[in-house]
Structure 1
Amino acid sequence: MAAPQKRVFKEHSSQSNFEEAAVTHSDIELDVDFDTHVLSGHVEHTVEVKKDGVAELALDTRDVAVSDVTVNGEAAEHSLAEPHKALGSRLSIKLPAGLKAGDKLTVAMGFETSPQASAVQWLAPEQTAGKQHPYLFTQCQAIHARSILPCQDSPGAKFTYTAAVRVPQPLRALMSAVPLEEDGEQELQHASMKARSGTKVWRFKQAQAIPSYLLALAVGNLESRRLGPISHVWSEPEMVEAGAYEFAETQSFLDAAASLAGPYQWGVYDILLLPPSFPYGGMENPCLTFVTPTLLAGDRSLANVVAHEIAHSWTGNLVTNKSWEHFWLNEGFTVYLERKIMGRLCGEKMYQFQASQGWLKLKNTVHKQLSPEHPFTALAPDLSGGVDPDDAFSSIPYEKGFAFIHYLQELVGGSEKFEPFFKQYVQTFAGTPLTSDDFKTFFLGYFKDCEATKAIDWDTWFYAPGMPPVTNTYDESLGQAAYELAKKWHTSDVMGIGSSGPQGASADDIKGWSSTQIVAFLDKLAELRALQPLHPSICRKMDELYDLDSRHNSEIRCSWFQLCINAGDDAILPRVAEFLKEQGRMKFLRPLYRALNGSKSEAARHLALNTFKQQRNAYHPIASKMVAVDLKLAAETAE
């Protein structure tokens, strides 16, 4: 294979010109119409000129109708380019002649979203926990903010914002911003936003500059419970108490993160527990983390997802990748900080255990989900040519990114040396988008006297596909019992022809185990059986002993279901179908649909296609699109 080539930075996922004329602040008004599934709005962008003589402001849009465009209050010439399949349509607005770097302008316009806006999911009352009121939520990462309003939809472009959102009573609006106290003004200000009876306006302010993918809105029958001095959990009344119990450790996570990365800078940290169709485990929207109800395990065992989203308050939201090719800078460092948080609270062995589990996930992604030659297994993949960043999404930026950071930590002398560097890195780049090369330069400058850094093969780490060039070693003592049990079941069915299981196997094998240990057991067994799946009878024996079919923990269910599907154990299929219908989290949907569709069982393949046909409109548009790709139905879903 040819040596990987370093690439010059270029933003491939945005058609805006933020490096020439940057939107630095946006005042947004939104009117939410549940009858038409349309967000109508008006936005006033404050624009700072970056280069002398710039003649236009270019913004990203996707299926957004634009009207009444003005520059400094005067009607402005504007044009909308033909849509690109992945990137949408470039909106070009003519600016006054003779502009100089440092000049500021006000560019305003009305807009209206499509009912099929890719960032927005509209839920009917029957899709909610309470069954009485409609609900909507947005998901703008990676490049979906452009389907809500014209903006510079790149992580390299940051802006502050205020917002006023009109919703039907008695619903509540929440945003990725600090809610403002009611001031008695219950109408939108712009003349085009006509008043509607039976509505209420909610107001917000985000004083920290954010990239567009962190713009977020949710509207529903919502109430809150306090978690700590700056934190609440929000949800429908039917789920809010469960959320308050599950996320009770939020303040401990915040304190641990601040000790590692510096003071929390966002004012409030609230959590919104969403309906089941939310496509991710969590989304780190500033001031208001979105989380999935699949975290409601009842024993706080999945709260590490909240630790991950809290970590994003520093790595991602403050220190941001400049483009989606450098996404590992967000997620690799966030996984690192998440595991450091859990290490602080649960001991260093927990950090090591989670790291070893992450390595298994990385191997599975490289060797089974993709391939060692797949370009999307590079830490900094090439997204030129109009690639949709969603198509490149996998565990690679998370786990390969973490593996690189852990490797660097051990190379320079361990946590004692690396943690002060990490805090300095966060403080230095707070508010500043950066690239992989920016990180490299800062790292080498900080550790300029460390001879060991000369051994780092930067280009291979950044640009080569496949597994990392260095294999880390981790303390696996917390997972040892799980791994040993996996080996026993593996050797009891070496030929894949079935057996009665390991000699002496009993329910006591996993008595007292945490859900994390059970997942470690199942994932290790899946790794050992990658080439020769288990016999279906072995899966039935395991369920008989360990009661795995009826587990409610979502992580256990997903790992167990995949093991059974790969074994051709059709007895599990009704439970798989039930799981695919009750939630829309891509972490579970995509591997299960892929396993079903790739099964030798005709019943499993049939179940995949039939279930997706029934559920596709209930999933978030992003999840529906990606599952369609997995099932090779992309052309059918690109309507």
Structure 2
Amino acid sequence: MIFRFFAAMALAGTLSACSGSVAGDKAEAQPKVAPVLTTPEAKDVHSYARPTEARVTHVSLDLAADFTAHVLRGTAKLDIQAAKGAQEIVLDTNDLKIASVTDGRGQALPWKLGDADRVHGAPLTVGLDGTNQVEITYATSPDAPALQWLSPEQTAGKKYPYLFSQGEPILNRSWIPTQDSPGVRQTWDATITVPEPLTAVMSAEMTTPGGKQMTGERRAFHFVMDKPVAPYLIALAIGDLKFKATGPRTGIWTEPAMLDKAAYEFADLEKFVDAAEDLYGPYRWGRYDLLVLPPSFPFGGMENPRLTFATPTAIAGDRSLVSLVAHELAHSWSGNLVTNATWNDFWLNEGFTSYFENRIMEKLYGKRRAAMEADLAWTDMMNAVKKEGGPTSPMTRLHLDIPASEDPDDGMTSIAYDKGATFLRTIEQAVGRKRFDAYLRGYFDRYAFQPQTTAGFLKDIRSHLFKDDPALAKKIGLDQWAYRPGIPKNAVHVKSDAFPAMDMAAKEYAAGGLVSSVPGDVSTQERVRFLDQLPRKLSEERLAKLDDRFHFSNSGNSEIRFAWLMLALDNRYPPAADSAEEFLTSQGRRKFVAPLFRVMMNEGDWGQALARRIYAEARPGYHSVTSGTVDQIVGWTPPES
């Protein structure tokens, strides 16, 4: 085995196990304490933690939400496992206001908050004095980067405030003092107190449906996660939330004004879970629910266990963008079950998941739909290679080497998603789908609830899939795919049979063809392909004819609207300015926001003035994940007070 149990030289024995149950499956053992990896490539330079000396195994939160001060206040009680002779434990924090640190009996413990840096926050070092439990009383900062506090006006209902968290990659240390490293898996529970009539939901089992009534018009919600997870997967949302079931173990949480629309769009949640299980084994998390958030949520989705957080921009009204659900559900195996040990191996989460997503889409919607989405992803991959500096750029490798001085979020590009999926698809074609599926199912079983590295994956696939055929492994070039930049020549490109017609239509229209000749009744994927294939030099008249016929500037389909605005802004099409302003001030999904601001900033005085004017209006409504990226694009500086 390439990994060892935590501090094996000091902590004898094997992992304890407890019984857990999965809906529809017999009980299986779950580790109380997940192993950490001690191989050199598993060292996490983006955490202050020293888990081989002392590590957190369980987090118990008791927090109250203050919507006036925009802070969470309360305690975090940490269960500690320490090596023999360990005198202290080091935790990750980011701008937390620490009031006290005690042991499990309430006795004060020595502690020190170190110097903070812009990437990691500050280390909190606690003297253990022989204890195996540490309780920290603290409050978050109003500007905690993981938390976004929304006013009623920023919600669908316009009546109540809202709070949500986003922890990946290293933001959760701004509201939870723990070892914030994906390789240090922890079980957890939480009690969250909120004002009436708000509801709290978390990425765990809710054991108090409806909440427990407290004094002062407040109620408390309790949650339990009995499976060890990476700390970035602890997630919280508080708002005017209602639930609607879509199946025996699936359903939708969202604001009442959004509930029916969201439940219609994602009505097939149960079918998604069934399809995923057919491919790679039992779903081990109990329920799979979806929380549709306000539009400022910075990602398409976040794979928080049991409760995927999702953007409302995936609601197109025709279920054409539900591949987002396939992606986040697939993370229940790749990412949540088997997790990258450090952010240098982010592709182990996202590349596996993107491959798995496409397999789910094929199973549910057929090969033609899956091929279109895979072909679009290929184009995205090739564009990403150019954006990252070309095929020799180290940023086009799967395994990265992100310096400690840099934010790991900077390495989370589409290379991890699309090159990673292409790598696995190339292996699939070489060995055959049946063999590859059997391997992946075994891989998820072997490393369930454990961290993994690229080196560990490559050792495992050589030992299991290529044990009897090392020559084939060499021919595929596993190390080249994982460690070298660019896209290898043997990469499998899935080509859609629907796209040649759209490519021809784009070519003919660009050459002066009639707008009436552009196909009208096509899928979202075909329409996006058409827009992407049009040249970045089209006359205002040509663009206006397209917009008059298809109403792209007002499209309610976010993918089509985005593709149109990328084309129109790159052509300096004046009428696109109003559409861009409306789109960029009504949602904060970084996938859409960052490229649109980037293209405006590349369009000289016209585009730069437009970008800065829109950003000044939009920025207050963006989560820190989005604003942190766009600040650099537009050169934003805070106004003088």
Separation in structure 1 between the aligned mates of residue 573 and residue 212 of structure 2, nearest angstrom: 61
Q: 1:519 aligns with which of 517, 528, 539?
A: 528
| Range moving further from structure 2, 435-444 or 614-623 | 614-623
Matched, 1:169 2:172: no
Q: 2:562 aligns with which of 541, 558, 582?
A: 558
Residues 154-213 of structure 1, C-alpha deviations (whole Å, 9 max, x = no match): 1101111111100000000000111113699645xxxxxxxx611000111111111111
Q: What is the match of residue 16 of structure 2?
A: none
Q: What is the match of residue 55 of structure 2?
A: 22
Residues 34-62 of structure 1, C-alpha deviations (whole Å, 9 max, x = no match): 0100100211111112x332221110000
Separation in structure 2 between the aligned mates of residue 214 and residue 638 of structure 1, nearest angstrom: 37
Q: CA deviation at 1:441?
A: 0.5
Q: What is the match of residue 193 of structure 1?
A: none
- 1:416 partner amino acid: K
- 1:138 partner amino acid: S
Residues 274-325 of structure 1, C-alpha deviations (whole Å, 9 max, x = no match): 1110001111111111111111111111111011111111111111000111
| Range moving further from structure 2, 536-545 or 115-124 | 536-545
Q: What is the match of residue 141 of structure 1?
A: 168
| Alpha carbons 1:71, 1:107 under 8 Å: kept | yes
Q: 1:63 aligns with which of 92, 95, 101?
A: 95
Q: What is the match of residue 623 of structure 2?
A: 620
| Alpha carbons 1:628, 1:637 under 8 Å: kept | no
Matched, 1:89 2:116: no
SS of the residue aligned with 1:590? helix
Q: 1:363 aligns with which of 373, 382, 385?
A: 382
SS of the residue aligned with 1:576? helix
Residues 311-355 of structure 1, C-alpha deviations (whole Å, 9 max, x = no match): 111111111000111000000011111100011112223333222
Q: CA deviation at 1:638?
A: 13
| Alpha carbons 2:597, 2:630 under 8 Å: kept | yes
Separation in structure 2 between the aligned mates of residue 366 and residue 75 of structure 1, nearest angstrom: 53
Q: What is the match of residue 611 of structure 2?
A: 608
Identity of aligned residues (%): 38
Q: What is the match of residue 571 of structure 1?
A: 575
Label 1:376 to 1:517 Cα distance change in 2 as closer, same or farther (>3 A).
same
Separation in structure 2 between the aligned mates of residue 286 and residue 565 of structure 1, nearest angstrom: 38
SS of the residue aligned with 1:314? coil
Q: What is the match of residue 437 of structure 1?
A: 455
Alignment of 1:473-622 (within 5 A): 473-490=493-510, 492=511, 501-502=512-513, 505-507=514-516, 509-525=518-534, 529=535, 533-600=537-604, 602-622=605-625
Q: CA deviation at 1:82?
A: 0.4
* Structure 2 unmatched runs, 5+: 1-38
Separation in structure 1 between the aligned mates of residue 609 and residue 452 of structure 2, nearest angstrom: 46
| Alpha carbons 1:373, 1:465 under 8 Å: kept | yes
Separation in structure 1 between the aligned mates of residue 546 and residue 446 of structure 2, nearest angstrom: 52
Separation in structure 2 between the aligned mates of residue 8 and residue 248 of structure 1, nearest angstrom: 42
Separation in structure 2 between the aligned mates of residue 366 and residue 536 of structure 1, nearest angstrom: 30
| Alpha carbons 2:61, 2:77 under 8 Å: kept | yes
Q: What is the match of residue 271 of structure 1?
A: 290
Separation in structure 2 between the aligned mates of residue 429 and residue 177 of structure 1, nearest angstrom: 21
Matched, 1:427 2:460: no
Q: CA deviation at 1:540?
A: 2.1
Separation in structure 2 between the aligned mates of residue 183 and residue 562 of structure 1, nearest angstrom: 44
Separation in structure 2 between the aligned mates of residue 182 and residue 419 of structure 1, nearest angstrom: 38
SS of the residue aligned with 2:518? helix
State the TM-score, normalizing by the size of structure 2.
Answer: 0.90
| Alpha carbons 2:109, 2:129 under 8 Å: kept | no
SS of the residue aligned with 2:620? coil
Separation in structure 1 between the aligned mates of residue 265 and residue 181 of structure 2, nearest angstrom: 34
Matched, 1:399 2:399: no
SS of the residue aligned with 1:471? coil
| Alpha carbons 1:119, 1:140 under 8 Å: kept | yes
Q: CA deviation at 1:439?
A: 0.5
SS of the residue aligned with 1:75? coil
Separation in structure 1 between the aligned mates of residue 545 and residue 47 of structure 2, nearest angstrom: 53
Q: CA deviation at 1:549?
A: 2.5
| Alpha carbons 2:119, 2:405 under 8 Å: kept | yes
- 1:419 partner amino acid: D
Aligned residues: 600
Q: What is the match of residue 465 of structure 1?
A: 485
State the TM-score, normalizing by the size of structure 1.
Answer: 0.90
| Alpha carbons 1:270, 1:287 under 8 Å: kept | yes
Q: What is the match of residue 40 of structure 1?
A: 73
* Structure 1 unmatched runs, 5+: 1-5, 98-103, 188-195, 493-500
Alignment of 1:401-420 (within 5 A): 401-412=420-431, 414-420=432-438
Separation in structure 2 between the aligned mates of residue 547 and residue 125 of structure 1, nearest angstrom: 31
Separation in structure 1 between the aligned mates of residue 454 and residue 638 of structure 2, nearest angstrom: 37
Q: CA deviation at 1:10?
A: 2.3
Label 1:612 to 1:24 Cα distance change in 2 as closer, same or farther (>3 A).
same
SS of the residue aligned with 2:44? coil
Alignment of 1:98-137 (within 5 A): 105-137=132-164
| Alpha carbons 1:319, 1:431 under 8 Å: kept | yes
Q: 1:317 aligns with which of 309, 317, 336?
A: 336
- 1:59 partner amino acid: L
Residues 571-618 of structure 1, C-alpha deviations (whole Å, 9 max, x = no match): 211111110011110011011000111114x33221101111122111
Q: What is the match of residue 191 of structure 1?
A: none
Q: CA deviation at 1:371?
A: 4.1
